[in-house]
Structure 1
Amino acid sequence: MTSDQSWLVISVSTAGAPDSLRVQVWRKLRSLGALYLQQSVCLLPARPPVVREIRRLSVRVRHQGGSARVLSMTFTDPAEEQAVIAELNTARDTEYAEVLQRLPELRRELDGEQARGNVTYAEVEESEADLQRFRGWLAKIAARDYFDALAGRHARDAVEEAAAALTAFEEAALRAEGSGP
């Protein structure tokens, strides 16, 4: 039995187009989480936001002198579809793992500042900016996590734990600055 999931096969050539177009195409397909089947041919689930972005991309490619072909397909072999989904999830898990690998640095920085007695609002602002970068990064990964990769929950939980640590740090900074002159 096959699934009802539709897929897009995207083939893009930027030969004869401005060099910058190749980079634009690569960035857009990367941001959407495309799975490359071979050079210049990739696969994405045909979800409405993806379809809209691919439609826009193919129009841009054609207007700038390249060629783009977008084909709709479904898998006839459920095992093959599951293998593709597993490959997409592995790619997302790798991205989530990078968030999880870098996130402890924010916690270490908060702990270090607290140990040095440098619990100030300036440090809160700096750490808030770092936390916002993590949240933005996580949101970008989640936007292309079409099949709920396992590491996504761990990454979201870790970011929320960092947010809680920052809230505690901020409360300490308010107490420290509130007891000043």
Structure 2
Amino acid sequence: MTDGADWLLISVSTAGGAATLRVHVWRKLRSLGALYLQQSVCLLPARPEVVKEVRRLADRVRHQGGTARVLRMTFTDPAEEQSVIAEFSTARDAEYAEVLERLPELRDELASEQARGNATYAEVEESEADLERFRTWLAKIAARDYFDAPGGAAAREAVGQAAAELAAFEEAALRAEAPEAPREVRP
């Protein structure tokens, strides 16, 4: 995102606002992947979907008694912009790493249940719910991964591998709980 690309510089104060406003602002900016430059001042790329969300947030802050400023800016130093982009990517890589750190629990659970001969429909349902949580989590990270952090590919691949392992587990559960009926043999 170089060559004079737009960025949003966002400054928010919730003083004078509702007690829950501060938490809402923090959560929303966090979900967008904002890079904090200092307390209450952050930076986001000025992409259409981000601009829309930030405008909504700023309006809410103002309507609830806080103050918000959203300024468009460009970097005058390409090296500084690249440094900021690197910070965004580092933050996303940390999130992808957490997915990779937690995913083995699901895969180990599948292997353990299968080894114990406990490949059941109930276990499949439970594991499907776990896998869906990983997929949702990964999608949220990807939505704020504006610069394609390197860790994204490994996280997507690992979730895909877990899905394949779950499919194999489900097949084993199907065989265990609904074995194929023997065919009639006609003379």
The two structures have a TM-score, normalised by structure 1, of 0.97
SS of equivalent to 2:97: helix
Q: Report % sequence identity.
A: 77
1:52 equivalent in alignment to 2:46: no
Match for 1:122: what amino acid?
A
Partner of 1:87: 87
What do residues 28-53 of structure 1 show as CA deviations (whole Å, max 9, x unaligned)?
00000000001100000000110000
1:23 equivalent in alignment to 2:18: no
Once the 2 structures are TM-superposed, how far is the Cα of residue 180 of structure 1 from its aligned partner?
8.5
1:156 equivalent in alignment to 2:150: no
Match for 1:78: what amino acid?
P
Once the 2 structures are TM-superposed, how far is the Cα of residue 18 of structure 1 from its aligned partner?
1.2
1:171 equivalent in alignment to 2:139: no
Q: How many residues align?
A: 180
Partner of 1:139: 139
The two structures have a TM-score, normalised by structure 2, of 0.94
SS of equivalent to 1:103: helix
Once the 2 structures are TM-superposed, how far is the Cα of residue 19 of structure 1 from its aligned partner?
1.4
CA RMSD of aligned residues (A): 1.1
5 Å-filtered alignment, 1:54-69, equals 54-69=54-69
Structure 2 unaligned segments of length 5 or more: list them. 182-187
Runs of 4+ in 1 over 4 A off after TM superposition: none
Partner of 1:74: 74
For 2:16 and 2:120, the matched residues in 1 are separated by 56
Higher CA-based Rg: 2
Match for 2:150: what amino acid?
L
Partner of 1:117: 117
For 1:112 and 1:180, the matched residues in 2 are separated by 25
What do residues 133-158 of structure 1 show as CA deviations (whole Å, max 9, x unaligned)?
00000000000000000000000000
For 1:163 and 1:4, the matched residues in 2 are separated by 41
For 2:60 and 2:31, the matched residues in 1 are separated by 16
Partner of 2:128: 128
For 2:134 and 2:171, the matched residues in 1 are separated by 21
For 2:180 and 2:112, the matched residues in 1 are separated by 22
For 1:136 and 1:169, the matched residues in 2 are separated by 21
1:13 equivalent in alignment to 2:39: no
